Amino acid sequence: MKTSRALFLVAAAAIALTGCSTVSRINPFKGLGGDRAARAEAEAATSDKSQRIPLLALDQQLKPADELKGKGFNLPGPLPLAECAVAGCNVENAVENVDAARTFQVAWRRDVGRPSSRSAQIMAPPVMAAGRVFTMDANATVSAFDAQTGNKVWSVNLAPKNRRDRVAYGGGVVFNNGRL
């Protein structure tokens, strides 16, 4: 009983001492990050203030670089985008200046299958090739829609029948050389 009481008192004293400011003054590990003033001084010495733009407090005005004044830039002409056979439209995920409709109106909308939920998520963005839009829903059902009308052309469920094989992560939907 006396041992547990003594142990309790030592633990309580140790906890109480951790809140005292004197502990930080007698800290033998000051070089290891315990000294805030030394750490702030080291950060100030290594940072180049002339090259840093604060993100949270905009106390500087953003302006063009003097070296770029008077120089133009080249924007390539718009090109038609007939296919997006992979997610991001190409392997570089760099869709350039697309010759798109000037009004940007939605041509059609369709339900592509089961939406994402806690148990299953849609991981594959849609792709478009050969006049079709290919999608995969959260149940691994791949569907093809006519790109002009939005009518469903076909669909197939690729979910495995074996229960232990149902949890999987795929790379998505890709169209290449006439194959999906």
Domain definitions of the chain by residue range: 2-55, 74-180
- pLDDT at position 8 is 79
- What pLDDT does residue 32 have? 54
Compute the distance between CA of residue 85 and CA of residue 91 in angstroms, rounded to an integer. Answer: 9
State residue 19's pLDDT score: 65
- Residue ranges of the chain whose pLDDT lies below 70: 1, 17-62, 165-171
Output the pLDDT for position 109: 93
Looking at residue 131, its pLDDT comes to 92
**Per-residue pLDDT, 33:** 52
For residue 59, what pLDDT is reported?
Answer: 61
According to DSSP, residue 98 is labeled B
pLDDT (0 to 100) of residue 134: 94
The residue type found at 144 is A
The reported pLDDT for the residue numbered 92 is 79
Q: What whole-number distance in Å separates Cα of residue 34 and Cα of residue 65?
A: 40
